[in-house]
Amino acid sequence: MKSKQQGPIQGERYGICVPIVGPSIEEILSQVQEAVQAEVDLIELRPDMWMKDSHISEQEYIPTIVNLVEEVHFRYEKMPILFTWRTLAEGGKTSLSNENYCNLLQAIVDQDLVQAIDVELFAYTDTMGQVIKQAHQQEIQMVMSYHNFHKTLNRDTLHLYAEQMISAGAAVIKFALMPTTSDDVLSVLQFTKELSERYPQLPRITMSMGKLGQMTRACGHVFGNCLTFGTLGQASAPGQVEVDILKRLV
């Protein structure tokens, strides 16, 4: 059982998170060790990337992932963990049935070793609502997310999604959007500022992806963002910036 503490994603400071994307236990642990040495604020475990070339059946995913999370936690107990299975629909690397998506997140909540869990807004179901409720009781931060790798939606639509996330019980809200113009990048920064004004107590994670939106990963905190994703090598999304550069900028 993990010790209870304030969630690792907070609005009053700008944190750096490193995605752990290695395909083998050796590479996963090596990446975590590197993140610990870099003194980042938390790591994101991305088992959808781990399972991509694993050649094991979907039925084996959950026990395999639970064991890997346990291994990471007990080796690096002081490093906060954000657990994320990114679905194919929002940029993930391995397919998973809706039922097993729910079952996996339930298993991670039951395991009670991570500090935060990502749930995609459009993967939300009544069953997932019960998982979120249990996570709140265990003081696990629930990050509700929306990713669009094709375009940047208008701010009115994004605010509607934010309201849906909050209604569903999100403790943190996250938006990652692909820009096609510089106006899209400005729109994400404006959206971030509006979120911070509407929900000042609610931590928010926003980014404009790709090379065009890369600046938002380094300056988002000026507009109210509270977390950025940096890389120590292999990125998990387009436009991620090296951790050492982020540390100099933020």
Domain membership flag for residue 30 = yes
Domain membership flag for residue 5 = no
Task: Report the predicted TM-score, pTM, of the whole model to 2 decimal places.
Answer: 0.93
What tens digit of pLDDT does each residue of 140-158 get? Answer: 999 999 999 999 999 999 9
**pLDDT confidence tier of residue 14, bands split at 50, 70 and 90:** confident
Domain membership flag for residue 10 = no
Positive or negative, the Cα torsion across 153, 154, 159, 161? negative
Most confident listed range (16-20, 22-26, 232-236, 244-248): 16-20
Domain membership flag for residue 201 = yes
Most confident listed range (22-26, 49-53, 164-168, 218-222): 164-168
Domain membership flag for residue 169 = yes
Question: Which range marks the domain in which residue 166 is found?
Answer: 15-249
Active site (catalytic) residues:
147, 174
Residue 12, pLDDT above cutoff 90? no
Under a CB-based contact definition with an 8 Å cutoff, are residues 246 and 14 in contact?
A: no
Under a CB-based contact definition with an 8 Å cutoff, are residues 72 and 86 in contact?
A: no
Domain membership flag for residue 3 = no
Q: What total number of domains does the chain contain?
A: 1
Average pLDDT over residues 61-66: 97
Domain membership flag for residue 1 = no
Domain membership flag for residue 63 = yes
Which CATH number fits the domain that encloses residue 93? Answer: 3.20.20.70
